[in-house]
Amino acid sequence: MKRNEELSKLTTIKEWDFIVIGGGASGLGSALDAVSRGFKTLLLESHDFAKATSSRSTKLVHGGVRYLAQGDIGLVKEALKERGLLAKNAAHVVKNQSFIIPNYTLWDGLFYKIGLSIYDFLAGKLSLGKTKYISKSKTIAKLPTIEQKNLTSGVVYQDGQFDDARLAINLTQTIIEKGGSAINYIKVINLIKNDSNKVIGVIAEDQFTKEQIEIHAKVVINATGVFTNDILNMNNPKHGKFVVPSQGIHLVLDKSFLKSDDAIMIPKTSDGRVLFVVPWHDRALVGTTDTLLESESFEPRALEEEINFVLNTARQYLSKKPTREDVKSVFAGLRPLAAPKDGGKSTKEVSRSHKVITSETGLVSIIGGKWTTFRKMAEDTIDEAMKVHNLGSTTSKTEHLSIHGNVKPETVDRSNHLYVYGSDIPKIKKLQQSNPEYSEKIHPEHPYTIAEAVWAIRNEMAETIEDILARRVRLLFLDARAAIDSAHKVASIIAKEKGYSVEWITQHENEFIELAKGYLLTPYSPKNV
């Protein structure tokens, strides 16, 4: 997976069957679905793959207990099926995760045991395990840092957990291996239309060289998540608002705040939202919030009220009370929600299910949805596009399509941080052995090695410090200070691999540090690494 090789295809292929705009979950899914049906498919991403929403999730592959409580059985059933398929198709990045609901009244224990037993039933043969009611003492044994005052029992249920950005990279690799193309840092700046006002391609700009290129296709798919309105605006300035962004934030704490392989799920907080405390890459991930915003951004920032809400709620349920100083990293993500027709202000009024809409110009847009159902969203999108554009009746092939890196679940060793690379692990180990410095750590307090950075540059289309430290290895999301301290080393690795100047190193190091400071809750003071 090399960017220059993908760029060369833009001049050799005169017309694509599909151009997919957007390199997040819905775009990658749509491109993979199209290419697996035999279509010439090109995906264009204006930044890096999964730069926005798709690297900022709660890292859960789940049916949605919250939606079950709201009575949205169809959405839950669909998501549970997709959860089971993804666990088989990408076993290296998806795992079975135990969640415990701590109960503080006798009624709660009974209520959640019954409700989650329905959740299990809806999963059918793709169930990850049965819900169990456990005593107060067993709950404490499993969750030693849980607040014990008034605790009565626990309910254990199974759901999925994954690494979102790593899955995005694997989907990109799969698209290319299947004969498609996917390129990051190519921004679509306009749509091309014919004399009949039908969309027949895009004008795109390379974000590094600023070169513009016309690219033609039979179908253009708008899969830009919270930026859907931008592409719709290119198509028709009077389109109206189809997507509203809802912000969710996560605080990352040291694992001492959880001390368990089990996750905590708080089903009803002070304002009715769900809160998770999830073990993730040797850290405790705490979130999330649900705040409707007026505008979208590639680098959304956590609001003070969101930070306070997550910290205050976590303090109610954890015996070790987290403070701002304990937060290793804070990140915010924007969910693309299908806008309510009445312009409602509550996220409870906004659809979590996805919608596929086709404009009069033939532009096909996928809106809403979530990571868990990305494959089904993509299938529906390509089905609709084929129908509207008379491209035959080939059915989707992705239900049992193995994603790059996939291995047998029983062979995954999660004690080794390299597990997310799946079938690529031997190649990375070989790279580590090829050069003594490649086995050195990027940062002394974290397991990631220089070999992983080199691998990302050579084989995973990583172009910037952020690409490597945020999405190829997850250091920025796990420990923002450590990521800042590692910026110079990673910039030097990129420069060596690509022949960049000392000035490039300085400029990009400074840019990354400014970005990374936004992931901190307390002021940064430099360390020598």
Q: Is residue 225 part of a domain?
A: yes
CB 288 within 8 A of CB 58: yes
CB 123 within 8 A of CB 240: no
**Cα 145 versus chain centre, distance:** 28
Instruction: Print the SS3 string covering 356-424.
Output: EEECCCCCEEEECCCHHHHHHHHHHHHHHHHHHCCCCCCCCCCCCCCCCCCCCHHHCCCCCHHHHHHHH
Q: Is residue 87 part of a domain?
A: no
Domain encompassing residue 148:
93-160+247-334
CATH code of residue 438: 1.10.8.870
Whether residues 128 and 213 share a domain: the answer is no
> How many angstroms separate the CA atoms of 40 and 395, rounded?
16
In this structure, what token pair is assigned to residue 382? 């390509």
pLDDT confidence of residue 346 = 36
Whether residues 117 and 251 share a domain: the answer is yes
Fill in the DSSP letter of residue 56. S
In this structure, what token pair is assigned to residue 240? 């109206």
Fill in the DSSP letter of residue 503. H
Whether residues 144 and 177 share a domain: the answer is no
DSSP structure string for 150-180? T--EEEEEEEEEE-HHHHHHHHHHHHHHTT-
Whether residues 379 and 352 share a domain: the answer is yes
Whether residues 234 and 253 share a domain: the answer is no
Whether residues 510 and 422 share a domain: the answer is yes
Q: Is residue 433 part of a domain?
A: yes
Whether residues 283 and 421 share a domain: the answer is no
CB 165 within 8 A of CB 21: no
Whether residues 210 and 290 share a domain: the answer is no
pLDDT confidence of residue 341 = 53
* Consecutive 10-residue averages of pLDDT for the chain (529 residues): 96 96 98 98 98 94 76 82 95 96 92 89 86 96 96 95 97 98 98 97 98 98 94 87 89 97 90 88 93 88 95 95 97 84 40 80 91 95 96 96 96 95 97 94 97 98 98 98 98 98 97 97 75
pLDDT confidence of residue 347 = 35
> How many angstroms separate the CA atoms of 270 and 529, rounded?
42
Of 334, 351, 378, the one marking the end of a domain is 334
Q: Is residue 171 part of a domain?
A: yes
Number of domains, the chain: 3
pLDDT confidence of residue 242 = 82
Burial letters 28-57, b for 16+ CB under 10 A, else e: bbbbbbbbbbebbbbbbbbbbbbbbbbbbb
Strands 364-367 and 212-222, bridge-based pairing: parallel
Whether residues 121 and 266 share a domain: the answer is yes
Q: Is residue 404 part of a domain?
A: no
Whether residues 366 and 238 share a domain: the answer is yes
> How many angstroms separate the CA atoms of 53 and 165, rounded?
10
CATH code of residue 318: 3.30.9.10
What three-state secondary structure class fits 140?
Answer: helix
Q: Is residue 213 part of a domain?
A: yes
Of 299, 334, 369, the one marking the end of a domain is 334
Q: Is residue 316 part of a domain?
A: yes
> How many angstroms separate the CA atoms of 92 and 409, rounded?
7
Q: Is residue 65 part of a domain?
A: no
Whether residues 262 and 151 share a domain: the answer is yes
Whether residues 318 and 363 share a domain: the answer is no
Helix (H) or strand (E) holding 27: helix 25-36
> How many angstroms separate the CA atoms of 224 and 32, rounded?
15
Question: At residue 157, what is the residue type?
Answer: Y
Q: Which residues, in sequence order, are CB contacts of 147 under 8 Å at separation 6+? A: 102, 316, 317, 318, 319
pLDDT confidence of residue 77 = 86
pLDDT confidence of residue 342 = 43
pLDDT confidence of residue 237 = 86
